[in-house]
Amino acid sequence: MNFVLHPIGWIRKTKTTTRIVLYKKYQPGLMGFEELSEIWVLWWFHRNDNPRTRSTLRVHPKGDPANPLRGVFATRAPMRPNLLALSRCKIPSIKNNIITIDEIDALPDTPVLD
């Protein structure tokens, strides 16, 4: 069974600001967002999408060999079979299709899935 995922937007970062910029067609889905103080963001580790990182099942947490090996499911490692990531973010502001967030451990130009 195969699944196809389509980004709904992208993480955009400057030195001082982090934003989620949604495609305009998803803007109606933001109705009620102004009542929220934080959200969960589902995103894709797109720069790790290769057979080697998808097959890595044990890692040293934080990439530090001094840390004992752990299974990837017990870590926040970017090497995963499905490369899914979930981050909780505070929302300082929202305007139209742009959600300003406090921070996220995703790289700039990372695809947002939900």
56-98 confidence digits (pLDDT tens): 999 999 889 999 999 999 998 888 899 999 999 999 999 999 9
In this predicted structure, what is the pLDDT of residue 38?
Answer: 95
Cα angle for residues 24, 103, 99 (degrees, 5° grid): 20
In this predicted structure, what is the pLDDT of residue 48?
Answer: 83
Query: E strands within 35-90?
Result: 38-44, 58-59, 70-71, 84-90
In this predicted structure, what is the pLDDT of residue 76?
Answer: 85
Using DSSP bridges, classify how beta strands 38-44 and 84-90 pair: parallel, antiparallel or unpaired: antiparallel
- Is the pLDDT at 11 greater than 90? The verdict is yes
- Is the pLDDT at 10 greater than 90? The verdict is yes
Confidence label for 18 from pLDDT (cuts 50, 70 and 90): very high
In this predicted structure, what is the pLDDT of residue 104?
Answer: 95
In this predicted structure, what is the pLDDT of residue 28?
Answer: 97
